[in-house]
């Protein structure tokens, strides 16, 4: 979500990529959300790739300031949720 006015919430911003629930197929996966302060209004495009994504390069490309908040969580596939046996 971009262009969130400072005195409101994310509902007032521009959604660039919709949230999808994690569905790891194997192992433990870490999901990270980072909140940046935008230094100005500009169009931010969703990255066209996930492999080797670099948050620092993304922030530099769009002239974002330093992160102001971050949160992460780990998840893994629940046993017995289908698949090969």
pLDDT tens column, 5-46: 888 888 888 888 888 888 888 888 888 999 998 877 788 888
In degrees, to the nearest 5, what angle opens at C-alpha 60 toward C-alphas 37 and 72? 60
pLDDT of residue 85 exceeding 50 = no
Looking at residues 50-79, what average pLDDT do you find? 88
Q: With contact defined as beta carbons under 8 Å apart, do 79 and 34 qualify?
A: no
CATH number 3.20.20.70 is the correct assignment for the domain at 10-76: no
Is residue 35 a contact partner of residue 69, using CB atoms and an 8 Å limit? yes
Q: What is the pTM of this model?
A: 0.71
Domain-by-domain residue ranges, the chain? 10-76
Q: For residues 74-84, give the mean pLDDT.
A: 71
- Our measurement of the distance from residue 66's CA atom to the centroid of its chain's CA atoms, rounded to an integer in Å, reads 15
pLDDT of residue 80 exceeding 80, the answer is: no
């Amino acid at each position: 979500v971009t262009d969130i006015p400072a005195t409101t919430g994310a509902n007032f911003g521009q959604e660039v990529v919709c949230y999808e629930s994690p569905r790891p197929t194997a192992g433990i996966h870490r999901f990270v959300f980072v909140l940046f302060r935008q230094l100005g209004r500009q169009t931010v495009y969703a990255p066209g790739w996930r492999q080797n994504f670099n948050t620092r390069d993304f922030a530099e490309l769009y002239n974002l300031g330093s992160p102001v908040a971050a949160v992460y969580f780990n998840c893994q596939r629940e046993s017995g949720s289908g698949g090969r046996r």
